Amino acid sequence: MKLTRPRGTRDFLPDEMGKRRYVERTVRELFGTYGYREVETPVFEHLELFATKSGEQVVQQMYTFKDKGGRDVVLRPELTAPIIRMYIENFQKAPKPLKFYYVGPCFRYEEPQMGRWRQFYHMGVELIGSDEPEADAEVIALASKAIEKIGLKNFEVHVGHLGVLRGILQEANVEEANQDKVMSLIDKGDVEGLKAHLEGLKLKPEDQNLLLKLIELCGQPGEVLNKAKQLLKNKTRALKALALFEQILEKLEIFDLKSYFVNLGIARGLEYYTGMVFEIYASGLGAQSQICGGGSYRLAELFGGETVGSTGFALGFDRIMEAVKIQNVTLPEDVRVKALIAPVAEEVRSEAIKIAQRLRESNIAVDLDLMRRKLSKILDYANAIKIPNVIIVGPKEIKQNKIVLRNMKTGSQEEVEINKIIEILK
């Protein structure tokens, strides 16, 4: 019987894992400099957590099952809802704002293609407790800085505000569930479906046209905002949201984010977003170019908590790694084994093990021949897996408290005192 991995999943081999861990470390360190602290939530949660406001598409793609107690549970499709559930259980009375970051796998049953997997990985942050424009601006700036730190050059930041779109629908007395449907259709780019849905809502033709014009606005901030103000002359709620949006954009420049687009066609597929929303796209990924998405939301009250403003984002880790490859970003090599220890006789094998342990205790990565090969075969093996040095342990050298250190790149070798190996290999 031949066993293969499940469709939509991957095995990450050592070289790939080295790159992924480097990127992960880079982003973790950056999150820490902004005051975010790491948290972790369960891989599976109660179904109700995601059924409330995750959006129609996400709900359809969830891995759901009954546990042995008959309870409906789900493999998490995203991480914002679990973080808010954790916040309600543990941190509601804590000083605000709370700044969390997370790294972990998520699961959705969707058709596998480039950039889409059934098990995928997110890195992200949640800032809980502030409605101020600088909170939204910091989150956007942090997302952009993370992608920049990874080394990607060709990416675009697009920022929008759902309050502008929802303001029009609210003034037209459209129920929230139908507003969510409108946002979902905008997020999918389904213009024909959107037109049909707006017709079904019996929205005034001028409001329908206004929405359709707004979602096409994308470009430089000043230009887009001026056009939006002209279109929204008599729309009080939408104009109020636009004024709040301008405050966020003013703060972005102070956070040193000068290159971005205002895009009023961003709606996001998750229904809990309420205000500012943003997405980041990387070139070279085709239809799956989005590598980050986020925005502001009010989710705690839906889970039985107190009303609290929140903002966050998730980096699509897998798509970022694909973009790294496509854009030929050079990542530093992962920490590799610095030397292979080669005992050339049975009587020095114990001494070779002692040398290996001594180096490892000094945080020097070394390997040890465990196959009892001849020296020529050990050298072939070191070459094959690109170990830069071989420490040859022989009876004559051990008697003199020495080893032979061979440089595999140049082929040169020298006798070295055992107590100096650590200094040389560090």
Biggest alpha carbon distance in the chain? 95
DSSP 210: H
* Integer Cα distance of 148 and 22 in angstroms: 14
Cross-strand partners of 65: 73
Pairing of strands 389-393, 402-407: antiparallel
**Rounded-to-10 torsion of CA 44, 131, 135, 154:** 70
Cβ(314)–Cβ(273) below 8 Å? no
Residue 272 in this model has a pLDDT that exceeds 90: no
Residue 189 in this model has a pLDDT that exceeds 90: no
Residue 56 in this model has a pLDDT that exceeds 70: no
| CB hemisphere CA count around 132 (13 angstroms) | 8
Cβ(201)–Cβ(137) below 8 Å? no
Pairing of strands 119-128, 366-368: unpaired
372 torsion bin: left (phi>0), alpha (psi -120 to 50), beta (else): left
Domain boundaries of the chain, sorted by first residue: 14-326, 339-425
pLDDT digits 0-9 by tens, 120-146 = 999 999 999 999 999 999 999 999 999
Q: Which CATH architecture has domain 339-425?
A: 3-Layer(aba) Sandwich (3.40)
What's the order of all strands across the beta sheet hosting 72-75? Answer: 44-46, 72-75, 63-66
CATH superfamily of the domain spanning 14-326: Bira Bifunctional Protein; Domain 2 (3.30.930.10)
Domains 14-326 and 339-425 in one fold: no
* Integer Cα distance of 179 and 186 in angstroms: 11
How much is the pTM?
A: 0.90
**3-state class (DSSP) for residue 193:** helix
175: tokens are: 């129920």
pLDDT digits 0-9 by tens, 352-385 = 999 999 999 999 999 999 999 999 999 999 999 9
* Integer Cα distance of 302 and 272 in angstroms: 9
